Chains A and B, each alone.
Chain A
Amino acid sequence: MSAIFWGVIGLVAGLWISAQMWDAALNLPPYFSFGRLRTFHTNVLVYGLGIGAEFGVFYYLVIRLTKRPLLFPKLARFHLWLFNIGVAIAGITLLLGWTQSLEYAEFEWPIDIAIVILWVIFAINIMGTIFKRKEQQMYISLWYIIATIITVAILYIVNNLSIPAGLDKSYHLFAGVNSANVQWWYGHNAVGFLFTTPILAMFYYFLPKSTGLPIYSHRLSIISFWSLIFAYLWTGAHHLVYTPLPDWIQTLGIAFTLFLIAPSWGSVVNGYFTVESDWSVMKNNYLTKFFIAGITFYGLQTIQGPSQGIRVISSLIHYTDWVPGHVHMGTMGWVTMVICASVYYIIPHIYKTTIYSEKLANAHFWIVLIGQLAFSITMWITGVQQGAMWKMTNPDGTLKYTFMEGLLRNYPYWQMRTLAGVVFVVGMLLFIYNVMMTIKKGKAELEAKVEPATATA
């Protein structure tokens, strides 16, 4: 699982920039200064860990849900290599400062083309396998996989339309306000279709698989699915509240953002009711914890997110550290939890063995949970404080604090955040160790099985 390797690189970069936030001396310009590393951190984690894990898990899921092997298994292997080389090169270009300055779409056009090729390879393989499936009905997970593949393709291509000006530079095809609108239509839905729908696909598969409990309501799944993918695309403008974007687009974006609570909670409720039929799995099955904690954070995330869109709240917390707090609850709470649990499930199944240590997995769970909570909560406090200090006025209508005064008050929180990040990374290292040992164990068992067989023959 190459995703894990990129996960480590990305996390280390994350720690580094979190420290740069409170000590500027940790910047090593030009290649390792905050401006470049921050982009490196987000992209390596999104594309390396997030998408890498999704590629892997989807291949696994699709085979099982269509009851047939992949249409092009060799293509999948090629895809893996191309992906790893791609992430490495892409990461380096970011450190070199090749960037389109579009959040989550920073890669310059040569990398964009490579990504599109990667995605097409992936799509051909997955969609081909689905089209030629041996099971008549498509399970919910497949719906989410299909929606992900289609939407990401549209999003990525449109937002990266640009005027190339040399190998390392291009200019957005769209200018000014329009550029902003296209970017956040992309930006928000990239989150939606890389961090929500694919993870839901995993959730809907692995929750019933690992607990043996069937999903509560099929109808709820259906309504949630369609209303989620319908509403998501309207919401990008909530990133642009109080900017020069026309008011009506902002308002529409906010309204649809609030509505998103419903479909998101459809999945949350569905998950809870599924496990409600037998809560003992929570205690007895270590994986259930990950899924339920994951979906809980998803639930919190999808209440917090939409409420941030509302103008009055946005005016307080936008541009502050609240937002990284929000993002990290989604990525560290929801995405990482579900991906880890999926990997814990898949690895023993592939190697036909059991997990190396359930205790270690439980420790991983609690450490990661604490790290993530500490991280997000400190960021929320910082964010509110920052926002309030920027806004606070004296009774005569003048500002109470200068920008620097506000900034200085953040340092202790930023130091705490780095600490929380360290805790989280320790948890993730436990996870990696556990997975490695499981693979080793599986291989050893396989050899042990083969040997007696050949001996008797």
Chain B
Amino acid sequence: MYKEEFDDLEKFEREDTKHKLPLGWLILFIGLIVFGIFYTYMYTPAFTGWSQSKVFEESMKK
């Protein structure tokens, strides 16, 4: 019963745009990597001394 239902993989993907990456998406992709590195640097106590408890102490002073 399976025979006639096998799929032809060739039909699943377009040939003409096979290697294309939409530009907007690529910008998003790279942008997020850059931002991720920046963010990790900024908010890791070992790098910048930032820490949640410090921020908290400051907020309590107000």
Chain A residues near B (Cβ < 8 Å): 63-65, 67, 69, 135, 137, 139, 208-209, 214-220, 223, 227, 242, 247-248, 250-252, 254-256, 258-259, 261-262, 265-266, 269, 273-274, 277, 311, 349, 397
Contact = CB atoms under 8 A, between A and B. Distances in A.
Contacts of B62: 397
Given A208-B11, A349-B5, A397-B62, A247 B52 contact: yes
Interface string B9-31: 10111100111111001001100
Nearest to B43: A251
B9 A258 contact: no
Contacts of B9: 65, 135, 137, 139
A64 B52 CA distance: 52
A139 B18 contact: no
A217 B20 contact: yes
B6 A219 contact: no
B29 A262 contact: yes
Given A247-B52, A251-B39, A256-B36, A65 B7 contact: yes
Interface string B36-57: 1101100111100011100000
A220 B28 CA distance: 13
A254 B50 CA distance: 15
Contacts of A273: 17, 22
Contacts of B6: 64, 67
Contact of B28 (A214, A261, A311): A261
B46 A216 contact: no
Given A247-B52, A248-B45, A251-B44, A218 B36 contact: no
A218 B29 contact: no
Nearest to A66: B6
Contacts of A65: 7, 9
B28 A265 contact: yes
A262 B41 CA distance: 20
Contact of B7 (A209, A216, A262): A209
Contacts of A64: 2, 5-7
Contacts of B40: 251-252, 255
